[in-house]
């Protein structure tokens, strides 16, 4: 378990599936988290259950999904994950989704991402971390930049949201660019 100023990251539990089901069937969460990608949602309880069982059995040396809880009330508000951890290349890909709308824009996602970055650079000898979003998600892009991620590239017109094309924006951070919280 990792605690920040606004959130804690804890291990995923089977009872967290109900939150994931609600978030993945909320069109606004799907829009901002995955640019409306139908692979993210909507999803049936049965389909989510199959995928959730897999998430509960992930091997932390390769990937993990954490539950994000609000420190003030202990409420489950989102998820944070890393995947494709390659110890030889020293790289991992991460992501954060705050599924409870009333916590959007209040710094909870940034705090969760900060904790995840600190954990990955602290626990594994990684040289870089990567993440991406779509160019319409300006709030996420600002949060990534504030934490020290740099835009490294774009896949032009690679995302379709509500009939409009957006870029897929790629971000990276090198170990030496990370400044742990004091």
Indicate the pLDDT class of residue 132, thresholds 50, 70 and 90.
Answer: very high
Decide if pLDDT at 13 tops 90.
Answer: yes
Query: What average pLDDT does the segment 64-79 reach?
Result: 97
Residues of the chain with pLDDT > 90, as a percent, come to 89
Q: Mark out the alpha helices in the chain (DSSP H runs).
A: 17-24, 27-34, 45-56, 108-123, 138-146
If you average pLDDT over residues 84-111, what whole number do you get? 96
Quick one: pLDDT at residue 115?
Answer: 97
Task: Give the per-residue pLDDT at 89.
Answer: 95
138-181 pLDDT, tens digit per residue, is 999 999 999 999 999 999 999 999 999 999 999 999 999 998 87
β-pairing, 91-98 vs 128-134, is parallel
pTM of the model: 0.94
Residue 37 is predicted with a pLDDT of 87
For residue 134, pLDDT over 80 is answered with: yes
């Amino acid at each position: 378990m990792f605690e920040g100023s606004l959130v804690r990251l804890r291990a995923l539990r089977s009872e967290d599936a109900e939150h994931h089901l609600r978030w993945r069937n909320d069109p606004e969460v799907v829009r901002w988290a995955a640019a409306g990608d139908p692979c993210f949602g909507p999803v049936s309880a049965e389909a989510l259950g199959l995928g959730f069982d897999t998430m509960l059995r992930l091997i932390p040396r390769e990937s993990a999904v954490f539950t994000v809880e609000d420190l003030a009330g202990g409420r489950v508000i989102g998820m944070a994950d890393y995947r494709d951890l390659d110890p030889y290349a020293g790289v991992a890909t991460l992501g954060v989704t705050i599924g409870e709308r009333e916590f959007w824009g209040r710094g909870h996602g940034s705090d969760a991402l900060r904790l995840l970055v600190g954990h990955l650079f602290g626990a594994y000898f990684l040289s870089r971390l990567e993440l991406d979003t779509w160019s319409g998600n300006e709030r996420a892009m600002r949060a990534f930049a504030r934490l020290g991620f740099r835009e490294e590239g774009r896949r032009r017109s690679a995302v379709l949201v509500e009939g409009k094309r957006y870029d897929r924006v790629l971000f990276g951070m090198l170990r030496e660019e990370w400044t742990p919280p004091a």
